[in-house]
Homo-oligomer: A and B are copies of this chain.
Amino acid sequence: MSLSRSEVGIVGAGPTGALLAIFLQRLGMKVEIYERRSDPRKELSASGRSINLALADRGIHALARAGVIGDIIPAMLPLRGRLIHAPDGATSLQPYGQRPNEVIHAISRLRLNQTLLDVAVRRHGVQVHFEHPLEDADFTGAVAHIRDLRQNRVLGVPMHPLLLCDGAASPMRRLMSSRGLIDARETELDHGYKELTIPAGVDGRHRIAKDALHIWPRGNHMLIALPNEDGSFTATLFLPQRGAVSFQSLADANAIERFLSSSFPDVRALMPNCVAEFQNHPTGFLGTVYASPWHYRGMAGLVGDSAHAIVPFHGQGMNCCFEDCVEFAECVRRHSSWDALFAEFGTRRKPQTDAIAAMALENYLEMRERVADPCFQLQQALALELEKRHPQRFIPRYSMVMFHHEIPYLLAQQRGSIQTQLLAGLTAGAATLADVDFARAESEIKSRLAPIMQEQLSDRA
């Protein structure tokens, strides 16, 4: 019996839940979503903080597969590279790639969520129940208890199955873990984050370049900024939670003012409200979620951040979740039982999400420190030059992750670690590209990189 006529419940109407609902409804299923919050389509985009996300090739590919990319494109703001702000105010652009199509995009999380829900409901007939938080689950009777806040009653929703797209803090994952049905752990970084605002200029325009991701790298902390459609930027400060310079130590307005003015003098002038925002906005935690397995029998399956939330430093969180949806839909075609489907989804997907989780953690050091290092900059320039000379064999790791959805995360990680060794060896003692031995580069690429590509790619075929 095929699963394609199933009735499926999804917990969570965020971007992942909405996109997964579209995929499943297109496969013939009848999907109902339960969401604890109220309908985001009724929110004004002006209200509250504006969170923006990075959308790259993997996310775009998933949206295209779901037939919704045309609806999302108008909300995308292209970013051509990292614009690095040195402490003395000097700026330099590090392009993400070397072709005009190698860009990433900033997108408003709210607008993306609104559009995906609109398409799910209006075009595909998905049913969404807002203000319906999950409270508990009975795994013997295969029934989830979901509260209808409007009527103040508890519904028994059969888990045949229930898909959990309820985010990094997934109540269901914690429930399953606490009852010993799965193993799960949440590892927290000792750095946190805080959102600040760079308002639009008086003419409504962006006050710094709007086609770049701005970074103020300062060693053990950094500020980044992504453009919004309304001319403003959402800036995010990443800082240790505790220690000499930390969220804990910056306890009053004077200390905050001194810190921001000395670390980021150029952008401080563009953030008139940053001290008050620092005091009033919550400090966010950064963490990685690991779980195994991602399901309990054919009843409950984790998809997206609930299964594998990662830190934001590679801009891949949402992209990785959207790739989950593509893989999940592929698995639907191959299985006739939910238990088997969940098992295969986890087996195929977890090595990949483990790889991006590790690369995202590594990227924090790169963003806050290495981008400002001349040695790193030479290696980056060499990587782009090697890609130019050997386009089939050498693609910088960042490009593999961001611009090549056809290269799995794990393969990008494996090739990347060999490439890092090659780049370090080739630039040892070199001051400029002219000092690099390109004949040696070519022979090492052939002997060390080519085999892993062939092997891994034929594994997938």
Cα of A403 to Cα of B123 in the assembled complex, Å: 12
State A115–B99 Cα separation when bound (angstroms).
10
Q: Is the interface of A mostly helix, strand, loop or mixed?
A: helix
Assess A57 versus B75: contact at CB under 8 Å? Given A100-B111, A391-B122: no
Instruction: Please give, as numbers and ranges, the residues of chain B lying within 8 Å of A100 by CB-CB distance.
Output: 74-75, 111, 115
A122-B391, A391-B122 are known contacts. Are A72 and B60 too (CB-CB below 8 A)?
A: no
Q: How large is the interface on A (under 10, 10 to 19, 20 to 34, 35 or more residues)?
A: 20 to 34
Interface residue ranges of A40-62 to B (CB < 8 Å): 57, 60-61
Mark each residue of chain A from 64 to 99: 1 if its CB lies under 8 Å from any CB of chain B, else 0: 110101111111101000000000000000000001
Is there an interface contact between A101 and B75, defined as CB atoms closer than 8 Å?
A: yes
Q: Which residues of B contact A118 (CB under 8 A)?
A: 99
Within the complex, the shortest CB–CB distance from A377 to chain B, in Å, comes to 24
Whether the pair B73, A76 counts as a contact (CB closer than 8 A) is yes
Q: Which of A70, A75, A118 has the most chain B CB atoms closer than 10 A to its own CB?
A: A70
Cβ-neighbour of A70 out of B57, B67, B75 (below 8 A): B57
Question: In the complex, what's the smallest C-beta–C-beta distance from A371 to chain B, in angstroms?
Answer: 22
Contacts of A57 in B (CB 8 A): 70
A103 part of interface (Cβ distance < 8 Å): yes
**If A64-B64, A391-B122 touch, does A74 touch B69 (CB 8 Å cutoff)?**
no
Chain B contacts of A65 at CB under 8 A? 64
Indicate whether A64 sits within 8 Å of B74 (C-beta atoms), given known contacts A101-B115, A115-B101, A122-B391.
no
Q: Which residue of B lies closest to A114 (CB)?
A: B100
Q: Assess A69 versus B78: contact at CB under 8 Å? Given A100-B111, A111-B100, A391-B122.
A: no
Query: A391–B122 Cα gap in the complex (Å)?
Result: 8
Contact indicator A74/B78 (Cβ below 8 Å): yes
Which A396-414 residues have a C-beta within 8 angstroms of B? Answer: 403, 405
List, in ascending order, chain B residues with CB within 8 A of A122's CB. Answer: 391
> Which residues of B are found within 8 Å of A103, using beta-carbon distances?
74
A9 CB to nearest B CB, Å: 25
Which residues of chain B are near A111, meaning CB under 8 Å?
Answer: 100
Assuming the contacts A64-B67, A67-B61, A122-B391, asked whether A101 and B72 have C-beta atoms less than 8 A apart, the reply is: yes
Most buried by B among A67, A73, A405: A73
* A76 CB contacts on chain B under 8 angstroms: 73
- Say whether B74 contacts A70, CB under 8 Å: no
State in angstroms the CA–CA spacing of A319 and B105 once bound together: 24
Once the chains are docked, how many angstroms separate the CA of A14 from the CA of B41?
41
Which residues of chain B are within 8 angstroms of A105 by Cβ–Cβ distance?
73
**Contact with A71, one of B67, B69, B101, B115 (Cβ below 8 angstroms):** B101
Could you tell me the distance between the alpha carbons of A122 and B395 in the complex, rounded to whole angstroms? Answer: 13
Once bound together, how far apart are the Cα atoms of A105 and B75, in whole Å? Answer: 13
Listed A/B pairs (9) with beta-carbon separation below 8 Å: A60-B69, A60-B73, A64-B67, A69-B69, A73-B76, A74-B78, A74-B100, A100-B111, A100-B115
Given known contacts A64-B70, A71-B101, what 4 new A-B pairs fall within 8 Å (CB)?
A60-B70, A64-B69, A69-B69, A75-B100
